[in-house]
């Protein structure tokens, strides 16, 4: 579906440089933020609320881009577009893809913190 | 409005040409024209060929130039006036102070 | 914190994005306030008054667009830059952000360099705006203050610039100020002999610098006019004073007229004003163009105050104007000009008042167009009866005590005869007598009649019948000037003697000249001899006037010495010591 990397190493290096000792807090914030976003996407789908689905995906996309997770960002964009076109038929599969990619990203970020 | 200066061929006459309206808005430019001029200037020509209008503050500026150039011993001629400009100069009888050509 | 430090409000529902942005801003020294949604953002904005707001476009509760509108409304006159944080990429969405009051965007992912540059630029813009606002307020305050001062100063200026006997029935004038002050001044004063002096001036420029010269000119004019000085002397003094106080390049275009209604004579001087006009009931209007440099330019020794003498009849009009009238433009930008003045006079109906005609003419010409300069128009009707007291009221109240028993001899001779009039001085001496000031008009007339007679007929031997025709009139005054230049060793000697009398006082004046005299015993009025059509001296109204005013007039010697006795009565209300007892004075 996308060939973007899971993590943008360069962007993360710069973030690490900028955030200094707050980098760990940032990663933790991102991870917990993202869990909430995924939950919100699921809620929107349950209520068949395409607008909320699009908005949540949009915000999620913003923080993914900022943190340096381009592939996850790309998946959020797909979700956002689906919401905007008010067609949530493939939304289940999209959420699954997002959850899968998120697991990968958080593992890799966790490794980054341990290093 | 614009003011041009040039040194005449004799090397001692400063020619100041005024284009457009010669009024209070030209005050600073007119002063700069003779105050920051070259040394060795002994005569002045105020060329009004392209001057469309002249008011009483311009008359005042001419008096300032006259003062600067030595008062009664100043050698200043005002040249090429159109009829409106000439009328204003002659109402004020400036021919008694300047050579008007 | 440094001077460049700003308080920045970040409103974003994503904690991750807020964290990154906050860190970036703190690193470059700014203070950060945080909000997680639009409602919180508006509340913090209201409470904390941050300098810059960074708003996420999409937020729960209240989105960025709406929050932006509230914040713009709350910031009032302050300039608060509003920057949208967005990963929006559609042009339409970006346009909506701008419509909501956004000043710029920051797109995700955040770029440190761009963020720093933008915040820095907006900070600078805001400081500039603040400085400008502060300066604007300061200028506004200063201007307000200046206007108040000018209003007060204008009241003073108006009291000075348009004063004297301008309300006399034979005077009409129009003054239209362009700015709060204009450079035009108009003065008129009665003369002690019943004539009138008028001065119209136009100072270069506008506003305070133009108005300030008016004060000394007014003082000189009224001071000297009331003492009996003529126009030529007053002009010399004004020129001297202005030359001293005005900076080079500033001057006063002016014209003066001295009217002698009894003689039907106008003396005029024009230095830099448009042509003056004498308009008679018959004949062509006569123009007097400017022949001299304006006042305040030439040093006293080179200043020429020669007056041009015109003959005028009762009912003639003298018009004076400043160049504002000539510079009025019509819709096409053409000037009214001297041509307009001439055209107006040519087209004027016989019965029309030339003042009205000229004002109407220029108004009709420039209809709808804005006044471009100060415009003053003045008209004096030559009239034997001005309805005026010879001196303004204020001048009569002084001199409660002074000399009443005195004599004085005064002689002027040779060149001085042509250069100096002794009349103001002699009048001044007489006016020191308590109670006599009220008679200054009569005294001046007596002195000037016998002085002019001694000078013009006794010494210069001018035939007075010349004055009976317009040509001769001009010839008379030209000849007078010419002969004065070669007057030789002649003299005129005055002897004044005042004594107090129970009813008031008696002034005896003897005037002797060095001329050849005349046979007064055969004079038709004096001696009762046969009528003589062209009697050389005292042929005109002068002698009748003297006889009417004085108790006694006698000629001595070979006719070159005249003696008059003038008795004057103290008003009933005045007590012996000369102090007035009218109720107004006692209260003082």
CA–CA distance, C166 with C357 (Å, rounded to integer): 20
List domains and CATH numbers for chain A. Answer: 9-114 (1.20.120.160)
Q: How many CB atoms lie within 10 A of CB A69?
A: 29
Tell me: do C432 and C550 sit in the same domain. Answer: yes
Is C13's Cβ below 8 Å from some Cβ in A?
A: yes
CA–CA distance, C83 with C210 (Å, rounded to integer): 53
The full DSSP string for C139-165 is: HHHHHHHHHHHHHHHHHHHHHHHEEES
Q: How many domains does chain B have?
A: 1
CA–CA distance, C583 with C493 (Å, rounded to integer): 42
pTM of the full predicted structure? 0.60
Residues of B in contact with C248 (CB under 8 A): 60, 63-64, 67
Tell me: do C344 and C409 sit in the same domain. Answer: no
> Is pLDDT at C385 greater than 70 in this prediction?
no
> Is pLDDT at C392 greater than 80 in this prediction?
no
> Is pLDDT at C67 greater than 70 in this prediction?
yes
Pairing of strands B99-100, C7-11: unpaired
Please identify, among C132, C150, C178, the residue that sits at the C-terminal boundary of a domain.
C132
Tell me: do C362 and C412 sit in the same domain. Answer: no
Residue C387 located in a structural domain: no
Residue C142 located in a structural domain: no
C388 falls in which pLDDT band (50, 70, 90)?
A: low
Range among A3-7, C29-33, C539-543 with highest mean pLDDT value: C29-33
Q: What is the pLDDT of residue C522?
A: 59
C232-255 tens-digit pLDDT: 999 999 999 999 988 888 899 999
Contact C125, C57 (CB under 8 A): no
What are C112's two structure tokens? 């440190």
Tell me: do C426 and C337 sit in the same domain. Answer: no
> Is pLDDT at C115 greater than 50 in this prediction?
yes
Domain around C17: 7-132
CA–CA distance, B75 with B15 (Å, rounded to integer): 12
More confident site: C519 or C97: C97
CA–CA distance, C450 with C422 (Å, rounded to integer): 12
More confident site: C404 or C80: C80
Partnered with residue C200 across adjacent β-strands are: C186, C255
Mean pLDDT of the C411-430 span = 86
Is B38's Cβ below 8 Å from some Cβ in C?
A: no
C526 falls in which pLDDT band (50, 70, 90)?
A: low
Average pLDDT, chain C: 82
Q: What is the pLDDT of residue C539?
A: 52
Interface of B with C in 42-61 (CB under 8 A): 56-57, 59-61
Interface contact C87-A11, CB threshold 8 A: no
Q: What is the pLDDT of residue C146?
A: 83
C142-198 tens-digit pLDDT: 988 888 887 777 777 777 766 778 888 889 888 765 445 677 888 999 888 788 999
Mean pLDDT of the C478-494 span = 86
Residue C109 located in a structural domain: yes
> Is pLDDT at C424 greater than 70 in this prediction?
yes
Tell me: do C438 and C527 sit in the same domain. Answer: yes
> Is pLDDT at C334 greater than 90 in this prediction?
no
When CB atoms are compared, the residue of A55, A59, A66 closest to C109 is: A66
The CB-based long-range contact list for C476-482 (8 Å cut-off, 24+ gap) reads C477/C309, C480/C456, C481/C306
Evaluate the CA torsion angle C380, C383, C388, C392 in order and state its sign: positive
Is C27's Cβ below 8 Å from some Cβ in A?
A: yes
Mean pLDDT of the A92-110 span = 93
Among the residue ranges C269-273, C294-298, C368-372, the one predicted with the least confidence is C368-372
CA–CA distance, B51 with B80 (Å, rounded to integer): 9
CA–CA distance, C158 with C214 (Å, rounded to integer): 10
More confident site: C131 or C371: C131
CA–CA distance, A102 with A64 (Å, rounded to integer): 10
The full DSSP string for A12-77 is: HHHHHHHHGGGHHHHHHHHHHHHHHHHHHHHHHHHTT-HHHHHHHHHHHHHHHHHHT-HHHHHHHH
Going by the DSSP 8-state scheme, the letter that residue C469 receives in this structure is S
B4-22 tens-digit pLDDT: 999 888 889 999 999 988 8
For C145, residues 6+ apart whose C-beta sits below 8 A from its C-beta are none
C408 falls in which pLDDT band (50, 70, 90)?
A: confident
Residues of A in contact with C108 (CB under 8 A): 62-63, 65-66
C221 falls in which pLDDT band (50, 70, 90)?
A: very high
Domain around B31: 2-100
Contact B15, B49 (CB under 8 A): no
Tell me: do C194 and C276 sit in the same domain. Answer: yes
CB pairs under 8 A between B and C: 52
Percent of chain C at pLDDT > 70 equals 84
C109: preceding bond cis by omega (within 30 degrees): yes
Burial degree of C313 (CB within 10 A; 0-12, 13-18, 19+): exposed
Residues of C in contact with B92 (CB under 8 A): 253, 272, 290, 293-294
Tell me: do C367 and C254 sit in the same domain. Answer: yes
> Is pLDDT at B58 greater than 60 in this prediction?
yes
Tell me: do C363 and C326 sit in the same domain. Answer: yes
Domain of C503: which CATH number?
A: 3.30.565.10
Please identify, among C323, C351, C381, the residue that sits at the C-terminal boundary of a domain.
C381
Burial C382-392 (b: 16+ CB within 10 A, else e): bbeebebebbb
Mean pLDDT of the C22-27 span = 92
C397 falls in which pLDDT band (50, 70, 90)?
A: very low
CA–CA distance, C385 with C270 (Å, rounded to integer): 26
CA–CA distance, C103 with C50 (Å, rounded to integer): 16
Pairing of strands C552-556, C561-569: antiparallel
Q: How many domains does chain C have?
A: 3
Contact B92, B60 (CB under 8 A): no
Q: Which residue of C has its CA nearest to B91?
A: C272
Spatial CA neighbour of C68 closest among C55, C58, C85: C55
Residues of A in contact with C16 (CB under 8 A): 26, 29-30, 33, 63, 66-67
Query: Could you give the C-alpha distances from C81 to C43, C53, C75, C91, C495, in angstroms and in order?
Result: 17, 6, 10, 21, 92
Q: What is the pLDDT of residue C210?
A: 76
Partnered with residue C555 across adjacent β-strands are: C562
CA atoms within 13 A on the CB side of C418: 17
> Is pLDDT at B89 greater than 80 in this prediction?
yes
Residue C16 located in a structural domain: yes
Three state DSSP letters for C27-50 = HCCCEEEEECCHHHHHHHHHHHCC
CA–CA distance, B88 with C522 (Å, rounded to integer): 58
> Is pLDDT at C574 greater than 50 in this prediction?
no
Q: Which of B23, B54, B63, B89 to mutate to test the interface with C (most CBs of C within 10 A)?
A: B63
> Is pLDDT at C139 greater than 70 in this prediction?
yes
Q: How many CB atoms lie within 10 A of CB C399?
A: 16
Q: What is the pLDDT of residue A82?
A: 93
Pairing of strands C7-11, B76-79: unpaired
Tell me: do C183 and C52 sit in the same domain. Answer: no
Residue C144 located in a structural domain: no
- Beta strand ranges found along C109-251 (DSSP E): 162-164, 171-176, 184-190, 196-203
Q: What is the pLDDT of residue C138?
A: 93
Q: What is the pLDDT of residue C2?
A: 52
Mean pLDDT of the A29-38 span = 94
Partnered with residue C407 across adjacent β-strands are: C497
C349 falls in which pLDDT band (50, 70, 90)?
A: low
> Is pLDDT at C481 greater than 50 in this prediction?
yes
Residue C182 located in a structural domain: yes
At B44 the three-state DSSP class reads strand
Q: What is the pLDDT of residue C348?
A: 76
C534 falls in which pLDDT band (50, 70, 90)?
A: very low
What are C283's two structure tokens? 């004949």
Is A40's Cβ below 8 Å from some Cβ in C?
A: no
Domain of C101: which CATH number?
A: 3.40.50.2300
- Beta strand ranges found along chain B (DSSP E): 2-7, 13-22, 43-47, 51-54, 76-79, 99-100
Phi, psi of C192 (to 5 degrees): -55, -30
C245-295 tens-digit pLDDT: 888 888 999 999 999 887 888 999 999 999 999 998 777 889 999 999 999
CA–CA distance, C160 with C503 (Å, rounded to integer): 40
Mean pLDDT of the C524-528 span = 54
C386 falls in which pLDDT band (50, 70, 90)?
A: low
Q: What is the pLDDT of residue B99?
A: 93
Element (H, E) at C359: helix C354-365
The CB-based long-range contact list for C113-117 (8 Å cut-off, 24+ gap) reads C115/C21, C115/C24, C115/C25, C116/C24, C116/C28
C100 falls in which pLDDT band (50, 70, 90)?
A: confident
Tell me: do C350 and C421 sit in the same domain. Answer: no
A2 falls in which pLDDT band (50, 70, 90)?
A: low
Residue C420 located in a structural domain: yes
Domain of C197: which CATH number?
A: 3.60.40.10
Spatial CA neighbour of C83 closest among C216, C267, C71: C71
Q: How many CB atoms lie within 10 A of CB C135?
A: 10
Tell me: do C547 and C448 sit in the same domain. Answer: yes
Domain of B19: which CATH number?
A: 3.30.750.24
Q: How many CB atoms lie within 10 A of CB C517?
A: 17
Residue C157 located in a structural domain: no
Q: How far is C297 from chain B (nearest CA, A)?
A: 8
Range among C107-111, C129-133, C516-520 with highest mean pLDDT value: C129-133
Tell me: do C325 and C195 sit in the same domain. Answer: yes
Mean pLDDT of the C31-56 span = 93
> Is pLDDT at C321 greater than 50 in this prediction?
yes
Q: What is the pLDDT of residue C330?
A: 84
C to A contact (≥3 Cβ pairs closer than 8 Å):
yes
């Amino acid at each position: 579906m996308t060939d973007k990397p899971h993590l943008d190493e360069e962007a993360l290096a710069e973030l690490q440089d900028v955030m200094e000792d707050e980098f760990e807090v940032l990663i933790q914030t991102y991870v917990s933020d993202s869990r909430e976003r995924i939950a919100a996407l699921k809620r929107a789908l349950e209520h068949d609320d395409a607008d909320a689905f699009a908005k949540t995906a949009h915000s999620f996309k913003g923080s993914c881009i900022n943190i340096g997770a381009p592939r996850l960002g790309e998946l959020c964009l797909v979700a956002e577009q689906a919401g905007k076109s008010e067609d949530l038929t493939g939304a289940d599969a999209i959420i699954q893809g997002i959850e899968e990619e998120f697991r990968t990203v958080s593992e890799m970020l966790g490794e980054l913190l341990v290093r | 409005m614009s003011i041009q200066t040039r040194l005449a061929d004799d090397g001692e006459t400063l020619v100041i040409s005024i284009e457009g309206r010669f009024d209070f808005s030209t005050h600073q430019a007119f002063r700069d024209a003779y105050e920051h001029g070259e040394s060795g200037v002994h005569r002045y020509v105020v060329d009004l060929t392209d001057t469309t209008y002249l008011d009483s503050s311009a008359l005042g500026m001419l008096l300032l130039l006259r003062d600067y150039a030595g008062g009664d011993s100043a050698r200043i001629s005002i040249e090429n006036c159109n009829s409106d400009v000439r009328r204003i100069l002659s109402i004020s009888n400036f021919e008694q102070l300047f050579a008007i050509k | 914190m440094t001077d460049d430090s700003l308080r920045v409000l970040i409103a974003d529902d994503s904690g991750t994005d807020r964290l990154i942005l906050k860190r970036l801003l703190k690193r470059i020294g700014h203070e950060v306030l945080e909000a997680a949604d639009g409602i919180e953002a508006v509340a913090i904005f209201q409470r904390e008054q941050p300098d810059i707001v960074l708003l996420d476009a999409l937020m729960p509760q209240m989105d960025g667009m709406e929050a932006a509108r509230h914040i713009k409304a709350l910031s009032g006159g302050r300039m608060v830059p509003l920057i949208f944080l967005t990963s929006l990429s559609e042009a339409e969405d970006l346009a909506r952000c701008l419509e909501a009051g956004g000043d710029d965007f920051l797109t995700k992912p955040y770029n440190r360099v761009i963020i720093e540059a933008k915040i820095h630029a907006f900070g600078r813009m805001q400081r500039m705006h603040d400085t400008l606002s502060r300066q604007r307020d300061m200028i506004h305050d200063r201007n307000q203050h200046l206007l108040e001062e000018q209003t007060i100063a204008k009241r003073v200026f108006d009291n000075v610039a348009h004063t004297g006997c301008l309300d006399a029935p034979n005077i009409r004038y129009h003054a239209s100020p362009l700015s709060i002050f204009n450079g035009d001044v108009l003065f008129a004063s009665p003369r002690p002999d019943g004539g009138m002096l008028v001065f119209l001036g136009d100072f270069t420029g506008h506003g305070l610098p133009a108005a300030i010269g008016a004060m000394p000119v007014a003082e000189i004019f009224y001071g000297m006019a009331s003492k009996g000085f003529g126009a030529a002397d007053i002009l010399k003094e004004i020129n001297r004073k202005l030359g001293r106080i005005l900076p080079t390049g500033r001057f006063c275009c002016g014209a003066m007229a001295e009217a002698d209604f009894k003689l039907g004579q106008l003396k005029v001087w024009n230095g830099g004003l448009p042509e003056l006009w004498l308009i008679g009931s018959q004949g062509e209007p006569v123009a007097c163009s400017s022949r001299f440099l304006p006042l305040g330019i030439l040093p006293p020794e080179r200043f020429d105050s020669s007056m041009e003498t015109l003959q005028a009849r009762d009912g003639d009009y003298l018009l004076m104007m400043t160049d504002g009238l000539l510079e009025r433009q019509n819709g096409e930008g053409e000037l009214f000009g001297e041509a307009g003045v001439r055209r107006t006079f040519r087209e004027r109906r016989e019965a029309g008042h030339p003042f009205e005609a000229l004002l109407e003419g220029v108004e009709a010409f420039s209809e709808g167009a804005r006044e471009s300069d100060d415009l003053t128009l003045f008209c004096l009707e030559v009239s034997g009866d001005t309805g005026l007291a010879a001196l303004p009221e204020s001048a009569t109240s002084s001199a409660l005590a002074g000399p009443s028993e005195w004599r004085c001899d005064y002689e002027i001779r040779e060149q001085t005869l042509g250069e100096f009039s002794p009349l103001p001085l002699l009048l001044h001496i007489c006016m020191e007598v308590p109670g006599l000031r009220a008679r200054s008009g009569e005294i001046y007339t007596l002195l000037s009649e016998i002085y002019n007679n001694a000078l013009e007929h006794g010494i210069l031997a001018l035939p007075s019948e010349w004055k009976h025709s317009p040509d001769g009139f001009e010839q008379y005054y030209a000849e007078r000037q010419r002969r004065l230049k070669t007057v030789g060793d002649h003299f005129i000697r005055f002897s004044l003697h005042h004594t107090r009398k129970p009813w008031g006082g008696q002034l005896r004046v003897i005037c002797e000249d060095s001329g050849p005299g005349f046979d007064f015993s055969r004079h038709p009025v004096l001696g009762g001899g046969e009528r003589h059509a062209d009697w050389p001296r005292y042929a005109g109204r002068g002698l009748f006037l003297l006889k009417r005013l004085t108790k006694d007039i006698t000629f001595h010697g070979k006719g070159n010495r005249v003696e008059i006795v003038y008795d004057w009565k103290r008003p009933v209300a005045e007590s012996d010591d000369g102090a007035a007892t009218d109720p107004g004075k006692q209260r003082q």
